[in-house]
Structures are given as C-alpha cells and as structure tokens.
C-alpha cells in the first residue's frame, strides 16, 4: 500500500484514531458511532469524519480527501418503540365545603414519555378531575345554660337533615337536636 498520503478517519471525537477507506490500501474500519438519539423511536447515530494523513499525524481540509470514499457521518437507528403517552394526575385539592358534602379538583394531563403535552391518550381511561368529598362538621359548642333542642315552631327539621342543610348555621341553630352529629 505505497503512495497513500491521505485517507478518511472516523470517530465520535476528534481523538479517535480509526483509519478508513484508504484510496490505494484499504484498511479495516472500526466505526465509532455515537449512541442512537433519541432514546426510542427512529433516530440517528453520528460520528466525526476527518481527512488525515495515512500515519494519522496530520489533519487536512475535507476537500483534500476523495469525496466518493468518504464514510457516512450519520446512520439511521432505532432503539424500539417509545412508551405511549399516559394520563398523569395531580394531588386532590381542598374540599369546597367547610362542612358536609362538597367537591374537590385535581389536574389531569396527557403527557408523552418526555413530559411534553400530548393529545394521544385514550379518553376512555382518563382519570376523573373532580370528585365528591365530605368535610367533618364541627358541632357548635353549646353553653350549659342553653339546651340543644329543635325550635318547636319549626316543623321542617327532618327535611333539613334529609337535604343536608345542617351545614348552614341558621338551620343548625333552629334544628340543633336533629342536626347533632351531622
């Protein structure tokens, strides 16, 4: 293999010393490609290709090596399918009711495996963003002089309980006995 002054050298960094495709004396190639990017789905592997003297001592401008023997700088690759986007939920917020039944909310987002917003999550498995909640009602402190009883001129106390109005101060006072513990 005499007479070869310049050949292509490849590697992922400029310090890699693999000699490739010498014009007169072809040599074995150790192709050092970078890892496939992105980490899943179709992507590319890259490497640096330099024009070097055959003893690898000098680097020349690319134009001084034959273009037709230049090895590829990148190749296609795939590390398998990417995980599908999925529903991600936040924590439940506070109950809207201070006392009794209310509602609480949370965020529900469809995110890709990289954390980007996506519209490809199946709606059929979307978690709820709202739910019913119940807050414990503090029973109003009753002074010893005042007995807890329903005000007898009010006949609707059973309805107050049925429709869960005991959480309202007025009804709790008027129907104290009925609302006790609710």
Q: Hey, where are the domains in the chain?
A: 6-78, 83-136, 138-182
Task: Give the pLDDT score at 64.
Answer: 82
The pLDDT tens digits for 111-155 are 998 899 999 999 999 999 999 998 888 765 555 446 788 877 667
Spatial separation of the C-alpha atoms in residues 56 and 18, rounded to whole Å: 9
Burial class (CB in 10 A: 0-12, 13-18, 19+), 50: middle
The pLDDT tens digits for 66-79 are 888 888 888 999 88
The pLDDT tens digits for 8-66 are 677 655 444 444 433 333 333 345 788 888 888 889 999 888 887 777 778 888 888 88
Per-range mean pLDDT, top range of 34-38, 113-117, 161-165, 166-170: 113-117
Spatial separation of the C-alpha atoms in residues 121 and 80, rounded to whole Å: 20
Q: What is the pTM of this model?
A: 0.43
Look at the block and give the residue holding tokens 């402190």. 141
Residues 6+ apart with CB under 8 A from 52: 6, 7, 8, 9, 19, 58, 59, 60
Q: Which fold has domain 83-136?
A: TSP-1 type 1 repeat (2.20.100)
């Amino acid at each position: 293999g005499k007479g070869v002054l310049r050949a292509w050298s490849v590697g992922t960094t400029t310090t890699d010393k693999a000699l490739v495709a010498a014009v007169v004396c072809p040599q074995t190639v150790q192709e050092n490609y970078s890892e496939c990017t992105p980490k899943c789905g179709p992507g590319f592997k890259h490497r640096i290709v330099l024009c070097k003297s055959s003893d690898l001592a000098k680097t020349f401008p690319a134009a001084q090596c034959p273009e037709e023997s230049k090895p590829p700088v990148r190749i296609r690759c795939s590390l398998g399918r990417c995980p599908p986007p999925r529903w991600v939920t936040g924590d439940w917020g506070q109950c809207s009711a201070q006392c009794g039944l209310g509602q609480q909310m949370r965020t529900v987002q469809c995110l890709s495996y990289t954390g980007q917003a996506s519209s490809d999550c199946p709606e059929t498995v979307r978690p709820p963003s709202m739910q019913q909640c119940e807050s414990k009602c503090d029973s109003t402190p009753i002074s010893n002089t005042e007995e807890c009883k329903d005000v007898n001129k009010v006949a609707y106390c059973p309805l107050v309980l049925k429709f869960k109005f005991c959480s309202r101060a007025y009804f709790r006072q008027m129907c104290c006995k009925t609302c006790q513990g609710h």
